[in-house]
């Protein structure tokens, strides 16, 4: 209070003297000199060395960060300076949306600044050997970022293992944290806990490995005042010895009175960075909220020149009672005079030689970093977590194993079988336009040949509907009751005999009378072609039947084009066998896409991936763990698909089953990599779903799965050549239908192409994950 009054007097004095040039007594002169010296020191660029910056827990200098495009940037950090001395609790305060989370994510190395520099625990976040991200940090993000299907103990075990703790060490910490955070010691899943309890589990996960730097983004939301106090007490106790530091953001401004230092953030800068006592004292306020309001108002007015802004602040702030010595090692955020930071934090600067600082590497953007060897304890934690997640989501897993079976069965039961029960309208004038059934004719008879032909046609499963006349028969076709109309002339049998016997001498009316006029509904190509095929085959059967019955050589009825047994494939090819290779690979490929992208997006969108990355796991480790666990699932799916395709539904396979299995599994692996790629390039599940679904039909159409590539537009043929499933489909088809071995180029090219796609997807995914930060 005395200091404030003195400050007030001192603050008023110089201004008056400056304007009025008052009496020059020795005392006043000395005071003025002291004051000027203090101001000079406070607003002169501070000397900050690399050494001093690395001595802080966190040191941010001239941080600049924007979102959005260059033309319309949303500047979040605008030349911000921040200094968090070791062993302190640092309260980061500011209005919602001012950029606290952004700043924290830059500190933990998950976002990059667009300008300026950050030092965390003596190193640059993300640089080799800095330990940041890594177990030196405990990070509690704003979102819950926990696996809902895990229990509390499992959650802590996972994060403990990630930090390199043993199961015993986690167990030892478990009871303490349960007690500290008043968590229910039950086996209930995290998703079954209340919102506040979930946040406390999240806090426990950040505390479990006792990190050097704790970064807590709003840890006390939804926590009752008593518990909030015990959390603060714990934070105070862990920082007491000076080797643990806490940065905490909160919307309960007044709880930060217990912090060692407070940074008030607004409009991309700090309004002040002081201890709570100094803030209250220096600004003559009763609450930190008032200080914040006051400084905000000043900042608003401070659109004018910085010097006048500083003058105003100076007028409200008293000088320290003791003149302080100028220390080159002192380190305040306002080293460039941006922050209104008035206290000398000399006392908080650790002295002595720099202790075992990590190497001063540049942020790890090197290629080798991406593939650095995985750490065993990370892999252990990740694999355990993945398996546990699958175990807990057994409904989803049953679906993943059931779906390929259902899809394969559906394919085999629905595609490629000949349509049956098709109707044809028959107008037979040989029966005098009656609808009487045809009498049955056998042996060498030339009577009612139309009926004899129709007998052969109906043997092929076609349903023949007699109509009285042409109009009625055609009407049935036009209304979709029949797929075609066959009309026989009244002199059909007679004309046909003449046509055969008299051959070149036959009259034109005899030729016309022996024709069967056919009007087809060709709106369905498959049905139309199949009926035409049946009519032609029936005609051949009919001719051979008559010729045999009348002791002629039935060979006469055949066309001179004689199709021998095909070199490869069946005499009557089956569309199911043609499409099967592509369909099977598509099923395996897209199931793997769904599994991988789903699992990855769940992690990403719930902040779990982010949290894991801050805990120090690498992209390679995540990739490896997912590949390992999902590969097991994919193997199961592949086995089911192959068993149902070949032994159960009898899809033709004349080739080496080993090649079929290998190629199918490789394609599944390629699908996993595509799923990984989808989850990396898509921000949300919705965009990932659109991408996965959007890519389904183009892949199916372009890869020659439902129609031969030779029938495509010439330009698309080139595109098709490089599509992920084209070569593998061709390769599998060749193995299944031709029985070719691996040394044939068509076969091994399927493997090569799939392998290249795997490399492409993996490389892009790793690059995106590596570089897609803020």
Q: Does 343 sit near ligand ATP (CB under 6 A)?
A: no
User: Closest distance between ligand ATP and the C-beta of residue 290, in Å?
Assistant: 20
Nearer of residues 42 and 142 to ligand ATP, judged by Cβ: 142
- Pairing mode, if any, of strands 245-249 and 137-140? unpaired
Helix (H) or strand (E) holding 604: helix 575-605
Structure tokens at 581: 């290779």
| CB burial of residue 247 (10 Å; 0-12, 13-18, 19+) | buried
Q: Is 220 in the site for ligand ATP (CB under 6 A)?
A: no
Stretch that binds ligand ATP, among 94-102, 185-193, 390-398, 708-716 (CB under 6 A): 94-102
Nearer to ligand ATP, 94 or 484 (CB): 94
Which residue of 94, 138, 655, 675 would you call a contact of ligand ATP, by CB under 6 A? 94
Tokens of 168: 């015993």
What does the alpha-carbon distance between residue 163 and residue 213 come to, in Å, rounded to a whole number?
13
Q: Which residues, at least 6 apart from 662, have a Cβ–Cβ distance to it below 8 Å?
A: 751
Helix (H) or strand (E) holding 3: helix 2-20
Tell me how far apart the alpha carbons of residues 587 and 576 are, in angstroms, rounded to a whole number.
Answer: 15
Q: Which is nearer to ligand ATP, 100 or 244 (CB)?
A: 100
Q: How far is the CB of 684 from ligand ATP (least distance, A)?
A: 12
Rank residues 142 and 625 by Cβ distance to ligand ATP and give the closer one.
142
Q: Which residue in the block uniquely carries the two structure tokens 């030892």?
A: 172
Q: Which residues pair with 215 in a beta bridge?
A: 139, 247
Q: Which stretch binds ligand ATP (CB under 6 A): 4-12, 97-105, 381-389, 630-638?
A: 97-105
Shortest CB 256 distance to ligand ATP, Å:
14
- Treating both helix axes as pointing N-terminal to C-terminal, what angle do 492-502 and 449-459 enclose, rounded to 10 degrees? 100
Residue 495 in contact with ligand ATP, rule: CB under 6 A: no
Transcribe 235-267 into DSSP letters: HHHHHTTSS-EEEEE-S-GGGGGGSSEEEEEET
Q: Is 71 in the site for ligand ATP (CB under 6 A)?
A: no
Q: How far is the CB of 272 from ligand ATP (least distance, A)?
A: 17
Report if residue 97 touches ligand ATP, rule: CB under 6 A. yes
Stretch that binds ligand ATP, among 89-97, 199-207, 350-358, 649-657 (CB under 6 A): 89-97
Q: Of 101 and 343, which has the nearer Cβ to ligand ATP?
A: 101
Q: Give min distance, CB of 105 to ligand ATP, in A.
A: 8
Residue 142 touches ligand ATP, criterion: CB under 6 A: yes
Please answer whether residues 463 and 422 qualify as being in contact, where contact means their C-beta atoms are separated by less than 8 angstroms. yes
Q: Minimum CB separation from ligand ATP for residue 98, in Å?
A: 4
Q: Is 67 one of the binding residues for ligand ATP (CB under 6 A)?
A: yes
Q: Report how far Cα 378 is from the mean position of its chain's Cα atoms.
A: 21
CA 8 to chain centre: 59
Q: Which strand (E) or helix (H) includes residue 464?
A: strand 463-466
Residue 53: CB minimum distance to ligand ATP, A: 23
Residue 356 CB coordination number (10 Å): 6
Cβ nearer to ligand ATP, comparing 263 with 473:
263
3-state SS track over 623-664 = HHHHHHHHHHHHHHHHHHHHHHHHHHCCCCCCCCHHHHHHHH
Q: Which is nearer to ligand ATP, 47 or 251 (CB)?
A: 251
Q: Does 101 bind ligand ATP (CB under 6 A)?
A: yes
Indicate which single residue of 25, 45, 71, 96 sits in contact with ligand ATP (rule: CB under 6 A).
96
Closest distance of CB 99 from ligand ATP, Å: 4
Sign, Cα dihedral of 41, 44, 47, 53: positive
C-beta of 295 vs 594, nearer to ligand ATP: 295
Chain center to CA of 165 = 29
Number of residues this chain uses to bind ligand ATP (CB under 6 A): 12
Smallest separation, CB 605 to ligand ATP (Å): 13
| 253 touches ligand ATP (CB under 6 A) | no
For ligand ATP, give the closer residue by CB, 91 or 466: 91
As a residue count, the chain comes to: 774
749 contacts ligand ATP (rule: CB under 6 A):
no
Q: Which stretch binds ligand ATP (CB under 6 A): 98-106, 286-294, 571-579, 736-744?
A: 98-106
Binders of ligand ATP among residues 178 to 207 (CB under 6 A) are none
Stretch that binds ligand ATP, among 99-107, 333-341, 438-446, 729-737 (CB under 6 A): 99-107
Nearest residue (CB) to ligand ATP, 101 versus 282: 101
Of 98, 584, 673, 723, the residue at the interface with ligand ATP (CB under 6 A) is 98
Q: How many CB atoms lie within 10 A of CB 636?
A: 14
Per CB under 6 A, contacts with ligand ATP among 270-299 are none
Q: How far is the CB of 60 from ligand ATP (least distance, A)?
A: 14
CA distance 629 to 382: 10
Nearer Cβ to ligand ATP (109/319): 109
In the chain, what are the helix, strand and coil shares in percent, each to the nearest 5?
55, 10, 35
Which of 456, 604 has the CB closer to ligand ATP?
604
Residue closest to 212 by CA, chosen among 131, 146, 145: 131
CB atoms within 10 A of CB 627: 16
Give the one residue of 102, 220, 734, 754 binding ligand ATP; rule: CB under 6 A: 102
CA 744 to chain centre: 37
Q: Shortest CA distance to 665 belongs to which of 692, 696, 695, 642?
A: 642
Count of alpha carbons within 13 angstroms of residue 166, beta-carbon side: 3
Beta bridge partners of 83: 59
| Residues in 648-667 that interact with ligand ATP by CB under 6 A | none
Q: How far is the CB of 276 from ligand ATP (least distance, A)?
A: 19
Select 180 or 264, whichever has its Cβ closest to ligand ATP: 264
**Gap between the Cα atoms of 603 and 389, Å rounded:** 11
Minimum Å distance from CB 603 to ligand ATP? Answer: 17
Minimum distance from residue 104 beta carbon to ligand ATP (Å):
8
* Distance spanning both ends of the chain, measured CA to CA: 45
Contacting residues for 594 by C-beta, under 8 A, at least 6 apart:
400, 675, 692
Q: Which is nearer to ligand ATP, 14 or 133 (CB)?
A: 133
Q: Return the range that interacts with ligand ATP (CB under 6 A); candidates 41-49, 91-99, 316-324, 652-660.
A: 91-99
Compute how many other C-beta atoms are within 10 angstroms of the C-beta atom of residue 713.
9
Query: Could you say whether residue 100 binds ligand ATP (CB under 6 A)?
Result: yes
Choosing from 99, 133, 655, 668, the residue that interacts with ligand ATP (CB under 6 A) is 99
**Tokens 């304007």 -> residue:** 19
Task: State the nearest-atom distance from the C-beta of 610 to ligand ATP, in Å.
Answer: 12
Decide: residue 602, CB within 10 A, 0-12 exposed, 13-18 middle, 19+ buried: middle
Rounded to whole angstroms, the Cα distance separating 467 from 461 reads 19
Interaction between residue 76 and ligand ATP (CB under 6 A): yes
* Range in contact with ligand ATP (rule: CB under 6 A) among 96-104, 409-417, 428-436, 623-631: 96-104
- Contact, 158 vs 381, CB < 8 A? yes
Query: What is the bridge-based pairing of β-strands 74-84 and 423-428?
Result: unpaired
Cα 663 to Cα 647: distance, rounded to the nearest angstrom? 18
Q: Does 531 bind ligand ATP (CB under 6 A)?
A: no
Of 36-44, 92-100, 154-162, 707-715, the segment contacting ligand ATP by CB under 6 A is 92-100
Closer to ligand ATP at the Cβ: 67 or 646? 67
Chain contacts with ligand ATP (rule: CB under 6 A) = 67, 74, 76, 94, 96-102, 142
């Amino acid at each position: 209070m005395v200091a404030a009054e003195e400050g007030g007097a001192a603050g008023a004095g110089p201004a008056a003297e400056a304007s009025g040039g008052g009496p020059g007594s020795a005392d006043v002169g000395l005071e003025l000199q002291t004051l000027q010296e203090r101001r000079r020191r406070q607003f002169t660029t501070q000397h900050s060395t690399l050494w001093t910056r690395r001595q802080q827990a966190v040191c941010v200098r001239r941080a600049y960060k924007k979102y959005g495009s260059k033309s319309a940037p949303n500047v979040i950090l605008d030349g911000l300076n921040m200094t968090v001395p070791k062993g302190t609790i640092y309260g980061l305060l500011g209005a919602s949306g001012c950029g606290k989370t952004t700043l924290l994510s830059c500190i933990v190395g998950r976002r990059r600044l667009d300008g300026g520099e950050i030092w965390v625990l003596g190193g640059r976040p993300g640089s080799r050997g800095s330990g940041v991200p890594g177990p030196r940090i405990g990070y509690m993000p704003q979102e819950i970022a926990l696996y809902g299907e895990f229990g509390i103990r499992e959650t802590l075990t996972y994060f403990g293992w990630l930090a390199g703790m043993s199961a015993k060490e986690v167990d030892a910490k478990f009871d303490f944290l349960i007690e500290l955070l008043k968590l229910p010691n039950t086996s209930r899943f995290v998703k079954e806990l209340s919102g506040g309890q979930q946040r406390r589990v999240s806090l426990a996960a950040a505390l479990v490995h006792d990190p050097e730097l704790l970064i807590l983004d709003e840890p006390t939301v939804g926590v009752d005042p008593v518990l909030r106090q015990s959390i603060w007490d714990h934070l105070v106790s862990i920082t007491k010895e000076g080797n643990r530091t806490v940065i905490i953001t909160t919307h309960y401004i007044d709880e930060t009175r217990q912090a060692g230092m407070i940074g008030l953030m607004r409009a991309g800068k700090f309004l002040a960075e002081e201890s709570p006592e100094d803030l209250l004292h220096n600004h003559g306020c009763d609450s930190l909220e008032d200080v914040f309001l006051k400084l905000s108002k000043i900042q608003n007015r401070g659109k004018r020149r910085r010097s006048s802004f500083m003058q105003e602040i100076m007028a409200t702030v008293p000088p320290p009672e003791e003149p302080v010595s100028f220390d080159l090692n002192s380190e305040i955020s306002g080293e460039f005079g941006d922050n209104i930071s008035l206290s000398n934090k000399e006392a908080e600067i650790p002295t002595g030689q720099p202790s075992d600082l990590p190497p001063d590497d540049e942020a790890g953007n090197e290629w080798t970093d991406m593939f650095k060897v995985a750490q065993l304890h990370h892999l252990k934690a990740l694999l355990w977590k993945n398996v546990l997640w699958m175990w807990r989501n057994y409904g989803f897993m049953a679906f993943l194993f059931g779906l390929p079976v259902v899809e394969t069965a559906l394919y085999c039961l629905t595609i490629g079988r000949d349509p049956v029960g098709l109707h044809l309208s028959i107008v037979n004038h040989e029966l005098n336009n009656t609808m009487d059934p045809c009498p049955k004719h056998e042996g060498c008879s030339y009577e009612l040949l139309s009926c004899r032909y129709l007998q052969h046609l109906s043997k092929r499963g076609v349903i023949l509907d007699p109509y009285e006349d042409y109009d009625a028969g055609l009407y049935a076709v036009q209304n979709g009751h029949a797929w075609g109309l066959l009309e026989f002339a009244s002199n059909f049998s007679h004309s046909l005999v003449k046509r055969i016997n008299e051959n070149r001498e036959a009259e034109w009316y005899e030729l016309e009378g022996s024709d069967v006029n056919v009007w087809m509904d060709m709106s369905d190509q498959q049905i139309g072609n199949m009926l035409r095929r049946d009519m032609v085959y029936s005609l051949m059967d009919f001719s051979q039947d008559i010729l045999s019955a009348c002791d002629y050589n039935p060979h006469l009825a055949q066309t001179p084009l004689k199709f021998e047994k095909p070199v490869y494939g069946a005499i009557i090819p089956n569309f199911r066998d043609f499409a099967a290779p592509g369909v099977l690979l598509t099923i395996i490929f897209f199931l793997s896409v769904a599994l991988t992208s789903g699992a990855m997006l769940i992690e990403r969108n719930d902040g779990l991936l982010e949290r894991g990355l801050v805990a120090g796991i690498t992209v390679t480790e995540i990739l490896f763990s997912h590949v390992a666990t999902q590969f097991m699932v994919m193997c199961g799916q592949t086995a089911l698909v192959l068993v149902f395709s070949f032994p159960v539904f009898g899809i033709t396979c004349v080739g080496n089953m080993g090649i079929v299995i290998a190629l199918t599994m490789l394609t599944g692996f390629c699908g996993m990599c595509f799923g990984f790629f989808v989850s990396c390039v898509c921000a949300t599940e919705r965009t990932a779903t659109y991408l996965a679904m959007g890519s389904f039909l183009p892949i199916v159409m372009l890869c020659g799965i439902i129609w031969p590539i030779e029938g495509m537009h010439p330009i698309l043929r080139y595109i098709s050549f490089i599509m992920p499933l084209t070569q593998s489909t061709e390769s599998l088809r060749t193995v299944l239908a031709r029985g070719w071995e691996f040394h044939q180029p068509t076969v091994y090219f399927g493997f090569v192409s799939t392998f290249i796609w795997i490399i492409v997807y993996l490389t892009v995914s790793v690059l995106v994950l590596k570089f897609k930060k803020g």
